[in-house]
Structure 1
Amino acid sequence: MLSMQDIIRDGHPTLRKIAAQVNMPPSAEEKQILKEMMDYVKNSQDPELAAKYGLRAGIGLAAPQINISKRMIAVHVTYNGEQFSYAFFNPKIISHSVQRSYLAAGEGCLSVDESIPGFVPRYSKVTVKGIGLDGNEIKLKLKGLPAIVFQHEIDHLNGIMFYDHINKQNPFEPIENAIAVER
């Protein structure tokens, strides 16, 4: 079972690398790692398990965050009453809106211990494609919080941290024509 000790922190060189594609079909080890990543995200949202194992709550996790530089992400988030729970090999954004959005409360990250305030501009709608744990291709059209989470996790696969997107001079400068998304 993954714990907070498995998650590398900001400044670790793996977080700035471009992660390698996972060869298909994935190995048994790669499948196990992705399953454990999903288990972490789900367990971290369960107050009892989080307290018992000292897990910081998360809604997404990318393999580079556990020092594995491979293109794998796990997302488990509820938004507007709908559950989005996906484990992907080789996820990619295949299309996106022109319109932008941002989390009104700002973004956080399991690999970043301190709060870094500011608006993180994202696309308000994305279409994501990847391979699920069962080996089948999955294509999702996302908006709102799930779209933001997928963009955050895919950024990790490209060595990009959420705070790289924050306006350094004015972190809370309004993003033109952007939608504020509430958690």
Structure 2
Amino acid sequence: MIRMKDIVREGHPVLREIAQEVEMPPSQEDIDTLKKMQQFLANSQDPEISEKYQLRAGVGLAAPQINISKRMIAVRLEEEDGKEFYYSLINPKIVSHSVEKSYLTSGEGCLSVDRDVPGVVLRHARITLKGFDIERGKEVKLRLKGMPAIVFQHEIDHLNGIMFYDRIDKENPLLAPEDAIPIG
């Protein structure tokens, strides 16, 4: 079981590396790692389990965050309308995106960052991504907008050594462009 002590924090060199592609078909070890990542997210969202094990709630986790420099991410997110985004992806890649931007009005957080970092993190409002999903056993193509699009972009950034606060304007951290879509 992945716990908070297993999650590397900002300053760890693996968080700034470009993660390696995963050879296909994936090894059983890679599949097991992704399943553990997905289980961590489920546990972190369960009030009883998260309290018992002192887990911070998360909606996404990238393999570099558990000190594995491979292109694997887990996302577990449920929208207010009940639509679920439970994906355990190998080699996810954004294949297209909108010019239009969006951002979370509350700002972004990260399991690898133990401090509050205020600021507007601009993301693409809509993305299309492809990746091999171990739960479904095949490549999937996802068209995303809103919160799911932001979460997937945040996790894919981890695979490229990018932290969310790298995307905050240093001069005007709280300034949101008028044409960007606020999500919140």
User: TM-score, with normalisation over the residues of structure 1?
Assistant: 0.98
- Following TM superposition, by how much is the alpha carbon of 1:159 offset from its aligned partner in structure 2, in angstroms? 0.1
1:112 aligned counterpart, secondary structure? coil
Matches within 5 A, 1:133-144: 133=134, 134-144=136-146
Matches within 5 A, 1:40-119: 40-81=40-81, 82-119=83-120
CA separation in 2, counterparts of 1:74 and 1:63? 8
Match for 1:39: what amino acid? Q
Aligned residue pair count: 182
1:11 aligned counterpart, secondary structure? coil
- Following TM superposition, by how much is the alpha carbon of 1:23 offset from its aligned partner in structure 2, in angstroms? 0.2
2:76 aligned counterpart, secondary structure? strand
Match for 1:17: what amino acid? E
Further displaced range: 128-137 or 68-77: 128-137
CA separation in 2, counterparts of 1:73 and 1:174? 28
- Following TM superposition, by how much is the alpha carbon of 1:80 offset from its aligned partner in structure 2, in angstroms? 3.3
Q: Which of 163, 169, 173 in structure 1 is aligned with 2:175? A: 173
Unaligned runs of 5+ in 2: none
Match for 2:108: what amino acid? E
Matches within 5 A, 1:122-161: 122-133=123-134, 134-161=136-163
CA separation in 2, counterparts of 1:109 and 1:45? 14
Contact 1:7 1:110 in 2 (8 A): yes
1:167 aligned counterpart, secondary structure? coil
Contact 1:99 1:123 in 2 (8 A): yes
Q: Which residue of 2 aligns with 1:34?
A: 34
Contact 1:72 1:87 in 2 (8 A): yes
Residue deviations 1:105-130, cap 9 Å, x none? 00000000000000000000000100
1:98 aligned counterpart, secondary structure? coil
Match for 2:109: what amino acid? G
Contact 1:25 1:135 in 2 (8 A): no
2:137 aligned counterpart, secondary structure? coil
User: TM-score, with normalisation over the residues of structure 2?
Assistant: 0.97
Further displaced range: 16-25 or 168-177: 168-177
CA separation in 2, counterparts of 1:96 and 1:80? 24
CA separation in 2, counterparts of 1:94 and 1:79? 23
Match for 2:115: what amino acid? E
Indicate the RMSD between aligned Cα atoms, in angstroms.
0.7
Q: Which residue of 2 aligns with 1:11?
A: 11
CA separation in 2, counterparts of 1:116 and 1:123? 20
Unaligned runs of 5+ in 1: none
